[in-house]
Copies of this chain bind each other. A is one copy, B any other.
Amino acid sequence: MTKIRDIGEFGLIERITRKSKDKNDVLVGIGDDAAVVKPGKHLQVLTTDCLVEEDHFTRRWFTPLQIGMKAIEINVSDVAAMGAVPRYVLVSLGLPKNLDVKFVDEMYRGMRKVCDKYDIDIIGGNMTHSTQIFISITLLGEVEKKNLTLRSGAKPGDLIFISGYVGNGRAGLRLFQENVKGFNEVKKRYLEPKAKLKHALKIAPFVNSMIDVSDGLAGDIGHICEQSNCGAVIYKDKIPIKIEIREVARILDENEYDYALFGGEDFELVYTVSQDMVDKIDGFLIGEITKDKAVKIFSDDKKQQIKNHGYDHFINSIYV
């Protein structure tokens, strides 16, 4: 086993700076004090998100390839939620000295694999020593102003849609935590989340607001409401949850709606649409935007205000 401390920072940088093909507008990629790009004529979106070992992933469950893939997908998901096309990535890595260099190679292969899929260039990076692995990604994208989809654009009367099934993020986690056999598809979707970029770009011209489900459906609809200065009613029975997720909840004596509403890490898109635009988009109708500022859940003929605001990494603990 070759450890990172054996080859050092410079050896490591040489290993991972096999560049993906540069676009013509990348003048300088990895290797200088900074990357240089020629900006396009459209608006630029910029996001940064980070994975920390034992908080967002654990080596016990995730392969290094999957860790690298997830690091890019979660950032693409944020850019997608703006209606934007991802373009450039900067990677900041913190790595323990005794980590196997193969681990870094595999993690980087995962990042490149996802970047290639979305035609993203890795233009810069930085590596340093840390006790926990962390991967901090900054992603830049481009969007035409008319396609920009903010959290703040929701209007009372808008219908709320979701791009796909939810609850898998938390269900997958719970399967690993409780060491449950089987449910391989649920586990795989948890280990390899996918951003819904194509869907986002298709619907962006027609929606009033959009967000990706990273904190849980309730919390993320809450973010739209805060930014749009309105409220929402979520129709509990309409939340799309797969049968196998209900089965996971049943086995663990938990509630599948808790997974969906408060679990997070589903990376589906939630968007709100004026009623006259509904035939332009697809997705699952799950609620509507209200003037009243609370986020409420409607079920069994009762409306209940939601208190829990989604997953919080400082308050909850997943892996420890």
Show the binding face of A for B, using Cβ within 8 Å: 4-5, 7-10, 12, 27-28, 31-40, 43-50, 52, 55-56, 78-79, 81-82, 84, 88, 90-92, 94-95, 97, 123-126, 128-132, 134, 136, 138-141, 143, 148, 150-152, 210-212, 227, 309, 312-315
Contact = CB atoms under 8 A, between A and B. Distances in A.
Interface centre among A46, A94, A312 (most CB of B within 10 A): A46
A316 to B, nearest CB: 9
A151 B33 contact: yes
Contacts of A131: 131-132
17 contacts: A5-B315, A10-B309, A12-B314, A32-B152, A32-B227, A33-B82, A33-B151, A34-B139, A34-B141, A35-B46, A36-B148, A46-B90, A46-B124, A48-B92, A50-B92, A55-B128, A90-B138
Protomer copies: 2
A34 B44 CA distance: 10
A292 to B, nearest CB: 21
Contact of A48 (B31, B95, B125, B212): B125
B5 A94 contact: no
Nearest to A97: B314
Contact of A34 (B4, B45, B55): B45
A48 B124 contact: yes
Nearest to A310: B10
B45 A35 contact: yes
Given A10-B312, A43-B27, A33 B81 contact: yes
Given A50-B94, A124-B47, A33 B313 contact: no
Nearest to A52: B130
Contacts of A150: 28, 32, 36
B32 A129 contact: no
Contacts of A124: 46-48
